[in-house]
Amino acid sequence: MKVADIINQKRQEGKPSLSFEIFPPKKSDTLSNIDETLELLCDLHPDFISVTFGAGGSTRNSKTVEIARKIKETYGVEPVVHLTCLYYTRAEISDMLRELECAGIENILALRGDRNPDYPAKNDFLYASELVEYIRSQGNFSVSGACYPETHLEAENPVMDIRNLKKKIDAGASHLISQLFFDNEVFYQFCDKVRCAGIDVPIDAGVMPVTNKAQIERMVNMCGASLPTRFEKILKKYEDSKESLLDAGLAYTIHQIVDLIANDVDGVHIYTMNNPAVAKRICDSIRNLV
């Protein structure tokens, strides 16, 4: 089922969609290592699960399709395959699309991917909008795109970033998933601006539960998410106690999600970091809201 249809269906029930992001296991792991994770996550009945894809030259990319196929065939949950384009030619992307078609994958999150100084870009695709257009020309896929409530780090300014986002929608993206953020007000203001720019597709809010301080600091460095004072206080007070930080961090995330739902968010997308125990604690707290 196409993600846009899933979201519409949930809308008619007056509820937001709930989705998870997972990543393929590291090179040395076998696919069976992720089976237990998938089973536990799928038991939580998300509306879809998205599977990440390396920016370029990654041997883990072949596992993305394999895992997505498993999510669909073994667990009956709709998968979304992330696909990056900066380091692939049109012919390579075309081959991947045929592979996805054969695996029965209907949903793709089309991304540019981060630049990697160790690999030369192929230059067939410069921006995600070009990949969106190409995918739409190649088959009957539902295409989603990424968006950035706190502006993409390379963008000239927030206005240009939203103008560029509109190009992605005009190219055929029918759904957006946001970068993680910790301050809902930032997300609400972003949505207002995006709607004013004429973008009317559903926008899922990306939420990352805090499980440890180092992980959050790494993510914040990578994506530039700002930390509200009440969030920083939690990190500071419990930085030396793993269990307490997990309790307080989860309480923060659950509060964040409840507020998003109360403000009629289209969907909640949880960056699970492949941690089903954390996802379960969140889902148990919002079961009747999604």
Q: Binding mask 74-93 vs ligand FAD (x if CB under 6 A, - otherwise)?
A: --------x-x---------
Q: Binding mask 105-124 vs ligand FAD (x if CB under 6 A, - otherwise)?
A: ------xxxx----------
Shortest spacing between CB 197 and ligand FAD, in angstroms: 13
Which of residues 53, 88, 190, 231 is near ligand FAD by CB under 6 A? Answer: 53
Shortest spacing between CB 150 and ligand FAD, in angstroms: 11
Shortest spacing between CB 60 and ligand FAD, in angstroms: 10
Phi and psi, residue 177, nearest 5°: -120, 130
Q: Does 128 bind ligand FAD (CB under 6 A)?
A: yes
Which of residues 63, 69, 136, 168 is near ligand FAD by CB under 6 A? Answer: 168
CB closer to ligand FAD out of 29 and 114:
114
Q: Does 164 bind ligand FAD (CB under 6 A)?
A: yes
CB atoms within 10 A of CB 219: 17
Shortest spacing between CB 288 and ligand FAD, in angstroms: 26
Distances (CA, A) of 77 to 125, 145, 263, 265: 31, 20, 27, 22
Q: Give catalytic status of residue 78 as yes or no.
A: no
Shortest spacing between CB 54 and ligand FAD, in angstroms: 6
Q: Does 177 bind ligand FAD (CB under 6 A)?
A: yes
Q: Does 127 bind ligand FAD (CB under 6 A)?
A: yes
Question: Could you say which residues in the range 222-241 bind ligand FAD, by CB under 6 A?
Answer: none
Q: Binding mask 137-156 vs ligand FAD (x if CB under 6 A, - otherwise)?
A: ---------x-----x-xx-
For 163, residues 6+ apart whose C-beta sits below 8 A from its C-beta are 197
Shortest spacing between CB 266 and ligand FAD, in angstroms: 14
Return d(Cα 106, Cα 143) in angstroms, integer: 9
Which of residues 17, 107, 129, 274 is near ligand FAD by CB under 6 A? Answer: 129
Catalytic residue among 21, 78, 130, 150: 21
Total residues at interface with ligand FAD (CB under 6 A): 24
Write out the residues near ligand FAD by the rule CB under 6 A: 52-55, 82, 84, 111-114, 127-129, 146, 152, 154-155, 161, 164, 167-168, 177, 179, 206
Task: List active site positions.
Answer: 21
